[in-house]
Amino acid sequence: MQIAIDDCAKRRLTERVDIMTAVNILESRGVPREDLVVEMTKIFYVDLDEFNRVMRRS
């Protein structure tokens, strides 16, 4: 059995400032607010509790 090595692992977004930066970038590119979490989880592993806190504050 061969084991696949994933050399393009997703980055983890767990810090508030990193999540806010990703949100700001996606919003500046025209991603609707309701689609932010979907787009972010395509690219990153996101701490969803922290993401929800960030979204409530903005």
Domain range summary for the chain, segments of one domain joined by +: 11-57
- What's residue 7's pLDDT? 55
Which is more confidently placed, 5 or 30? 30
Mean pLDDT in residue range 41-53? 95
Helix (H, G, I), strand (E, B) or coil at 7: coil
More confident: 1 or 36 = 36
Asked whether residue 13 carries a pLDDT value surpassing 80, the answer given is yes
pLDDT at 1 over 50: no
Query: For the whole prediction, is pTM greater than 0.75?
Result: yes
